[in-house]
Each structure stands twice: as structure tokens, then as C-alpha cells.
Structure 1
Amino acid sequence: MRVRDCWVMIIAAAFVLSAAAVYAGEKDLPEVKTKVSQVAIFKDGYGFFVRTGESRLEKGWAEFDVVPSAVLGTVWVYTDRSNEAVDLLVRGTKKVERTGKVANMFALLGENIGAEVVLTLPEKMKISGTLVYVSEVTGQVTSRGRSAIRPRNPEPFVVLETEEGSIVIFRFWQIQQIEFQKKPVLDTALDPEERPVLRAKVLTRRDKANLGLAYLESGIRWLPSYLVIVKDDERALISLRATVMNDAEDLEGTRLSMVIGVPHFSAKGELDPIGLRETLADTAEFRQVGRAMMSQAAMPAAAGYADFMREERVLGQPRPPGPSGRPLPPPPGELAGVGMEELYLYHKDDITLLKGERVQISLLSGEVPYKTIYQWDANKGEEVWQCLKLTNTLKAPWTTGLAMTVKEGQPLGQDMLEYTPPAATTTLKVTQAPAIRVSLKETEIARGEPERIGNRTWSLVTIEGELKLENYKKKAVQVEVRKTVSGQVEIPSDIAEITVEPSPDRGLNPLAHLKWEISIGAGETKILTYQCATYVRI
């Protein structure tokens, strides 16, 4: 094919696409009246919204009734049929006529030309007739073909035709009262508002389509909270509820899916250009994304996206004839009822929650086994905590959230319950246990000769530590004790576990994390000892 012929074809294709875009911009297209059918809500303040609706098509075109403020790269429009595709998505604007109530008496008269009125003038003089004219017409045409009146000089006037056919002209400021013989018109035309719109071009032979609009948007989040009711010495009832805070958009009869997990969205905080309300070149997102896309680091990702789009055309369902183009990926699948990759979703159907409202939703409840233990972290002082060691025997994971513990109707305490998958155990702090007294004493028992290491002088010091626990309760208790020491650990007593890691500052002394799990009888005292050799700079 000759170069000239190639250019002719390219120019022709450009005209075809231009015509399509112009058509979309100039026509009043059928509107897709959508509703939010489902939202996947994340705890970090974002939600994945799915809107659906049916619409007629005008030569394949339809117009959505919303333009979302979505996160960059998360806006997808789709149809519910595999042999159809959304070929183009145009973000444009249109002028929308608006009406409001009249703001003053002058505007009221202007909206009621032709009305029968009785005007009260100074000295209680009354005159009746038909409103013929009000001065200072600005030329704004209302929905009824009349002009919205705005006085602009100190001498506006009113023209009235009396029942006798006389024409009376008087200054507007002379009017003290207006009496209408029939209900007056109170609405007036406002300046048209320019609103953003989304126009979609569907490749289909049908004259209607079921369309979906999916996007990630900020403004909605959920907070988990637990109630743990101690039933007896072995069982507890745990209940999870979600507090949903909706500051995004109105939801009516919507399925809410509370997501457990940490999804990764690298473009959080950046708005998609398809939904921007301002000039693209003036936005920080445009400048940031532009720099990233032009950098060498972004080129492999761009190449991968091109490969993906080619695979979509080759492997996708056959499309009906139409303008060539790359269809958007298929609609997102129905949200899973339980696990979905590394995420888990709690579903609640038919929820109505308007923007600005909050709701609490019960998600799960069930009895689980537990053990009462006590914890002492000797690194943090002499506080001993009563804890519940809970085992998750339910089918769903427990997400991280505040948990309040109650026994016999009385609150015992509140603390953070950590993420716990099914079959795993977790420890929940309940309250401090003053009946178990503890103390820590460390003594230097040996010191080596100074030695030169590198360009500094060090001495190896041996420390003996003593952890003392006294149980003043009337029953035996299980206690977990933790202590972190710096140096080489020697001769720990009754040790259950030692974990060693390198020094965080690359020094001579490693860190050793010691953990004991011991039983102390009623009224008994237990002493735990350890020794560690640590280098001290001199």
C-alpha cells in the first residue's frame, strides 16, 4: 500500500471518530438511571461502588446520570452481555436548566405579568388591574417564556391596566402590598448550570442495554467492634458488628460488603481524569501521572498494559460489527460471599444509607473456647494483665478491632483484638491484675578485662537478672513472662522460648527475647533467673 493511501485511511478514520464524538456531545442522549447495587467497603475510607441501570440507546450512545470522583484507573463501564462491549467513554459537559423561588417582590411581579392584582400604595390607596409590564427586564427567559426581573436603577416602574382600560404607571417603591386574585407564580428561572456527564458508546445490535458503572471512591468506611461475653470458665460468646460511615453518596437497597484485608491501590489520592471537575492541566494528578508515565520506570508497565489489551481483543467474546476500538475489560464478577484471594467479605443485603448517615450492622456471633492467662512484659514495668486466650473456631476470620469484655452484665475492660484467621488463637487483654505482684532486679556479677575492638575499648560484663512473681489470688494462675536483654544469654531458668536477633545498630550485642510460660499456685512465689554477657564501652 502506498504512503499516500495510508494517510488517506488515517484521515478518514479520524473523521469517523470526530463525528462520533461530536454526535455524543451535541445530542440529548438517553439517560442511564443508575442505582448503587453493591459496595465493597474498606476500613481505610474507600469503597468500590457498582452502579447498574437499563437505558435506551441512540445509535449505541447513552448518558450516565452520575460522574464519580473516582481513584485513578478504577473507572470501568460494562454491559451484562458477553457479546456486547463499551467501545467509547466520553467525559463531557452539558447545560442544565434550573429553577428556584423568587427572591424579592420585584422578581415576583416580573414572574406574574398578566396576573390580576390589587396594589396598596401610600396613604392606603389601592388600585386593581392587570400587570402589563415591569421595567428593567434583564432578558433571562424563564421556563414559562417570561423574563426574570432584576432592578438595576433607583427608578424601576410598574405598568398596570385597570378594569376601565386605563394604563397606570407608578414607581416600584410606591408599592406597599400586593394582593393576587389567583395563586401567583413563585418559581423563577436561574442561570443554567454546566454539569459533567459521561457518555458511553455500546457495540450492540440492540436499541437498549443493561449498563454498569464501577469505580473506587473515597468517603465511605467501616469500623469493626467486638463484644466478648464470658459464659463460664471455658466458653465465651464473641459478636462482631460494623459501624458504616457513609459520606460518599446515597445508598438505597444496596448490598454492603465489609472487606477484611489490606487491598493495594497504588493510585490512592489521585483522581481519575474521567471524573475531574477542573481543567486537567491545572491538577496535581495530571502533572504527577504525566511525569510517571514519561519516566523509563513506567515504560515496562505501559508495554504490559498494551499486551493485555491485545489479549483482550484476541481472547474475548466475538463482538458485533462496529467502529474498531479496544473494548474495556469485562464487568467485575459478583462479589464472593466468603473468601476472595487474600480478602474476606461480610455481606449485608438491602441496606439504605443516605450520605451523611451511619449504621451499625451485626456481622457474626458464636461461642468459642478460651483460657484465662496473665501476662507480664518486664520491659514495660511492673504491670500484670489478665487476658483471654481465644481460639477462633468460627468459619470467618476476625479482623483487627476494639473488643469489650463483659461478665455477668458487668464490663471488665476493652482492648484491641488482633486479626485472627480460623483455627488460630489470639490474646485479648482484659484488665490489670494487682493480686499478682512482680519485680525485676539485675546485678553485675562479673567484668572482664578491657579489650580493644576496632578503634574502641570494650569490657565484657556479666549481668544476672531475677524476675520475681507473687500470686496473692486464691487459685493457681498461668503466667506468660517476657523480657528482652542485650547480649549473649546464659543459663536461663525454666525458659520456654529464646529468640535471638542481630543488634539493631550493628553493635556487638545481639538482642535476646526471653519468654516463660509458668504456673504459680495460690499464695506461691516464683523466681525466674537469667544471665547475659554484654559488651560495655569504656
Structure 2
Amino acid sequence: MYKYTLLAVVSFSFIFVGAVDIKFKTQRVIVFKDGYCLVVKKGSATSNDKGEIISYDVPQSAVLGSLWATAKEADITSLNAEWREVTKTEEKDFTCTEYVEILEVNKGKKCKIVMNDKTKYEGRIHRVLLSKSVSNLSQNVFNTQNSQATISSISGSYFVLRTETGDMLLPVSQIRSLFVRNMITTIKRKIETKERRKQLTFHFAQANKKHNITLMYFTPGMRWIPSYRIDLQPKNIAAISLQAEIINENEDLLDVPMDIVVGVPNFRFRDTVSPLSLENTLRNVLRNSQRQNRTNSFSNAAVSLQQINAYSAPQRSQQSGNVTLPSELTAKGSQDLFVYKLPKLTIRKGGRAAVHIFTAKVKYRDIYTWKAAIKHNLSYSSKNRTQLEFSENKIWHEIELLNNTELPWTTGAAMIMQGQQPLAQELLTYTSSGSKVRVPVTIAVDIQGTVNEKETKRQPRDLKWDGYHYVKVNNQAKLDVCNNKRGAIDIEIIFAFGGKATQASDDGNVTLHAYNSRDWNNYRGSSAVNNSTTVKWKKTIKAGESFMPQVDYFYYIRH
């Protein structure tokens, strides 16, 4: 087995006789958050005598119905996609590693030879008695998964040395040393490559004419993830910055303009591969890994973007939130999707990049929220009594941001800072221009909330439904929120329970809902007889004071 040292790299650029190979260059990539992207490529070439232009740049995993090719000068009459068997033969220089190779490439030269028995000879290398063979090349050196390459090699046991006294037949294996003036040390080997390759053939009505072709297709392999930094500053000002973290598993992108899109486009056949890709299944590592996520937190698929119709970036002003965009960055929106236009980027396949999108100063306010809930734990004993289970007593400190910029905020991870002090990392949800969004910061340990519940009245056989008698139970719930902070706080309380409220103090806003199984344990009876209720209070509580609203309500339980 010979060891080959490669001095030059084989190029797999195959061109059929009479065919013109067009080279496409990526002009723009539009990246969505769900692991898909829209690729736009352009190239130019002159058609052959048959009006054909060939490309070996066949898109992988293009989505059904999304692969389109257009030409500027004339219509493409048809487009063929097929597999082709291609054979190429070429010679490359390799370093000689055996005496027989050195003798062969230096034929005709004078030499001095010392044999193993120390016998010395002088003469001219006249002939090398050779045998030729071919062997397979390692797949990871020259050929790919769809190709096979072979390389020629030589071997021999004897050579003829022409001396002054005549020709001598000497064994190659007995050579101890060989001296040749200006010795050649490389040998040409023949490499034959057979490859099965994809091919696109563009057909035109006219032959021998130059055409500029645009190729566009929707494909998996790229996504972007929004990431926010929110810096809380004095006077209730927050500096919010957005950067896009881009993942590229599609192709090498070299100095390519890129757009990133807020929102998810509606591609009905995104899971079906185009026949023109010559593949059976989509290759979508990014989308598959996203499906394994517990919740698709960063997707805007369920968010209505109707507020973002055709958008043209107006002039920014102090009143619009002081949005700071680099001069090479612009933003525009269309078709209910919002587009951030990025500068030219270089991201190779498998690479990652973080790109700054904007920085803005917006107004915010601190607000405290308490979502209290009780669950009726029914015990069907002789007295038919109920017990109550309370939700966790956690009052959250949140910040409410006003998007007074001209740009929407897409859903993304948000790091909340105050100077150099990190406060929290949470999820900032989609917020259109002019809207407000709340981001949780931390649990407020110096604000306590409690719920006290008591039964005030019980009326047996008050209701008959579907052949059963129901007991009407009247309850009264008292909530108590104590502010132990040094300053006043704005708090929002949402109290949820099973039953129907009859009265709520302190201007509580009552909302009735249909029966909810989360309000009950061991419920037995018809869901039609009980509502689910939420009561909402908004209150400012001064330092050291308490807020104690109460609710009267009733519910039914079956005998």
C-alpha cells in the first residue's frame, strides 16, 4: 500500500460538452424565527446550441411550490431536475515515496547507484520494468457520498541501467542509495472520479444568448432568535436594546444582505419537499430541535400582527422613543409581517452571529401583580362540607414598558439590568408600536397577601338540575395586601374562584366565565350549574398601609 502526499486539490467542477454551467451567487436571505428562510440567488450564462443552461447548484430541501426560476431577457420554457453520472479524469503531482517511482520519473538521466552489498554502479537510467494498477481513494480525501474516485499507481522489481560496458538488469529492492543530478521527486498520477450529481437544466427558445437567471426558494436551515437587554434608569426611563442571534445550518453566506422577519409566514406545504430538490424528506435540524422545546416561547405564530400593515420607516424624533439605528440599518413592514433589514453579513454553514438591531429609550412604570386563586376541595360526607385550597401566595414585581417607538417588539428573551446589577431574565412578548407590555422581574418579598374564606349560608335543595338536587353555598372571601415597602406601590389583583360573584367591594371588576375544572377537586355534578369568576382590582397602596377587598359569591354542589 502506497502513501500518497497530495500536492494539489482536485476540483470537482464538471462541464458537459456543449453545456454551459451557470454559477449562482446568493443575493439575499430572508430569515424567519421558525427555522426557515427564503433564499434569492442570481447568475448569468450564455445558452448552448440547444438553448440550454445547466446548473449543479440544486437547492436542498426546497419547500413544495416555492422553487421558482425567472430570466430577465426571456422566459424559461422549461426546467428539468435530474441525477447525472459524471466521469472526470485528470493528473495530479504526488511526492515519490518508492525507488521505482524515482527511477521512472528520472529516466534518461545519469546516476550513481550503491547496492545493499556496497557494489557501486554508474550509468544512465534506461528503462523501468513496471506494472500499473488503480486503487480506490479514501472518501474523505477526494470523493463525496455520491462519488467514487480511483488513483493510478506503479510497481516494479527491476530496472535497466545502461553503462559503458552494456545494459545491466538490477533489482529495485537492493538499492541502498541513488544519486541523480537535479533529481525529480514528484510523479504524476491519474485520478478518475465518477460522481452522481444533481443537475438543473434551464431551457430557452433561443440558443447562444446570454441570460440573467434569478432562483428563489423557501427552505429550512436558518433561524433567528431575538434577545433584549432592558436597562432601568432614573426617572422611569428604560433603555431597551434588541439583537438578533442568527443560526445558519443552510449554506455558506459570504457578504450577503440579510432580512429578519417578525412573524411566521403561512406556508401550507412547508413539511413537503419540492420534487425539484430530488430529495425524499426535508432536512430541517433547526425546526426539529425547536419542536422538542417544551413551549415555542419565541414564536409569534399565535400573535395577531394586523396592526402592522404596509409600513414605511418615517423620520425618527425625540417623541418617537429615540430609536437609534445604525446608518446602514433600515426597517420596513409588509403583508402583516415586519422586516428588519440587516447589512451584509458573513456566516458560514454551522456558524452563529449576533447582530445589533436597535436601541431605544422608553417610559416604564413599576407595578405589582397578585394572581390569587382558590380551589374547592369537595368532601361528600353526611354534611357535604367543602375545604379550600389556596394558590401560592406570590406577589410579583413587574415593569410595564410603553413601546413609543416606531418599531414592533417581537417575542424574545429579555435581560433586565439596573446599571451593572442584573435583576432578572424573562420573556418579553410581542408588542406593537404604541402598545404596552409587562415583564416580570422578581417576587416582592416585602409585600404580603392573604385570603380568608368563610361560608355565610347554606340552602339545601335550592336547585334541581337533570334529576339531581343541589345545595347552594354562599361564601365570603376577604383579601388582605400589606405594603411594607418604603414607598407607595401600584398593585393589580386578580382573584379567581369557582362560583358566581354577587358583590365585590372597592369597585372590583367582576368577569364571569364558563365552568372551569381547575376551580374544583372531586367535583360531582353538572358543569352547567357553576360559573368560574375572576375579580380584578387596581389600587395604589401607600407605605405601611393595607388594602382589604372582599367578595361575596355562591356555588352549587350536588347532594
Which TM-score tier does this pair reach, normalised by the shorter chain? Answer: 0.7 to 0.9
The residue correspondences of 1:386-465 to structure 2 (distance < 5 A) are: 386-450=397-461, 451-465=463-477
Between structures 1 and 2, the one with greater helix share: 1
Residues 1:88 and 2:88 aligned together: no
What is the DSSP-based 3-state SS (H/G/I as helix, E as strand, rest coil) of the residue aligned with 2:487?
Answer: coil
1:247 — aligned with what? 249
The partner residue of 2:356 within 329, 354, 362 is 362
Provide Cα deviations, 1:71-120, integer angstroms capped at 9, x if missing partner. Answer: 22211111235xx2222111122415377989997899679954459999
Residues 1:148 and 2:151 aligned together: yes
TM-score, normalized by length of structure 1? 0.74
Instruction: Give the direction of change, closer, same or farther, for the CA distance of 1:258–1:536 in structure 2 (3 Å limit).
Output: same
Alpha-carbon shift at residue 272 of structure 1 (Å): 1.2
TM-score, normalized by length of structure 2? 0.72
Between structures 1 and 2, the one with greater strand share: 2
- Counterpart-to-counterpart distance in 2, 1:368 and 1:72: 43
- Counterpart-to-counterpart distance in 1, 2:466 and 2:112: 106
Instruction: Give the direction of change, closer, same or farther, for the CA distance of 1:170–1:503 in structure 2 (3 Å limit).
Output: farther
**Given that residues 87 and 192 in structure 2 are in contact (C-alpha distance below 8 angstroms), is that contact kept between their aligned partners in structure 1?**
no
Alpha-carbon shift at residue 465 of structure 1 (Å): 1.7
Identity %: 25
The partner residue of 1:132 within 128, 131, 134 is 128
Alpha-carbon shift at residue 483 of structure 1 (Å): 2.1
Amino acid at match of 2:403: N
Residues 1:209 and 2:223 aligned together: no
- Counterpart-to-counterpart distance in 2, 1:400 and 1:251: 26
Provide Cα deviations, 1:239-262, integer angstroms capped at 9, x if missing partner. Answer: 100011111101112111111012
- Counterpart-to-counterpart distance in 2, 1:100 and 1:448: 101
What is the DSSP-based 3-state SS (H/G/I as helix, E as strand, rest coil) of the residue aligned with 1:162?
Answer: strand
1:72 — aligned with what? 64
The partner residue of 2:537 within 516, 522, 536 is 516
Alpha-carbon shift at residue 447 of structure 1 (Å): 2.0
Provide Cα deviations, 1:272-320, integer angstroms capped at 9, x if missing partner. Answer: 111124xxxxx479xxxxxxxxxxxxxxxxxxxxxxxxxxxxxxxxxxx
- Counterpart-to-counterpart distance in 1, 2:118 and 2:435: 88
What is the DSSP-based 3-state SS (H/G/I as helix, E as strand, rest coil) of the residue aligned with 2:548?
Answer: strand
Provide Cα deviations, 1:382-415, integer angstroms capped at 9, x if missing partner. Answer: 1222111111111111000001111122111110
- Counterpart-to-counterpart distance in 2, 1:364 and 1:423: 17
Amino acid at match of 2:161: T
Amino acid at match of 2:454: T
Instruction: Give the direction of change, closer, same or farther, for the CA distance of 1:284–1:473 in structure 2 (3 Å limit).
Output: closer
Residues 1:485 and 2:497 aligned together: yes
The residue correspondences of 1:52-451 to structure 2 (distance < 5 A) are: 52-58=42-48, 59-69=50-60, 70-81=62-73, 84-92=74-82, 93-95=84-86, 97=88, 113-115=104-106, 129=125, 132-138=128-134, 148-149=151-152, 157-164=156-163, 166=167, 168=169, 170=171, 181-185=183-187, 188-203=190-205, 207-277=209-279, 283=280, 337-379=331-373, 380-450=391-461, 451=463
Provide Cα deviations, 1:29-65, integer angstroms capped at 9, x if missing partner. Answer: 2122111111110111111101111212224321224
What is the DSSP-based 3-state SS (H/G/I as helix, E as strand, rest coil) of the residue aligned with 1:474?
Answer: coil
Q: How many residues align?
A: 448
Segments of 5+ residues of structure 2 without an aligned counterpart are 1-14, 143-149, 283-329, 374-390, 518-526
Alpha-carbon shift at residue 530 of structure 1 (Å): 1.3
**Given that residues 233 and 371 in structure 1 are in contact (C-alpha distance below 8 angstroms), is that contact kept between their aligned partners in structure 2?**
no
Alpha-carbon shift at residue 466 of structure 1 (Å): 2.0
**Given that residues 159 and 167 in structure 1 are in contact (C-alpha distance below 8 angstroms), is that contact kept between their aligned partners in structure 2?**
no
Instruction: Give the direction of change, closer, same or farther, for the CA distance of 1:489–1:192 in structure 2 (3 Å limit).
Output: same
Instruction: Give the direction of change, closer, same or farther, for the CA distance of 1:56–1:253 in structure 2 (3 Å limit).
Output: same
**Given that residues 226 and 413 in structure 2 are in contact (C-alpha distance below 8 angstroms), is that contact kept between their aligned partners in structure 1?**
yes
- Counterpart-to-counterpart distance in 2, 1:88 and 1:112: 56
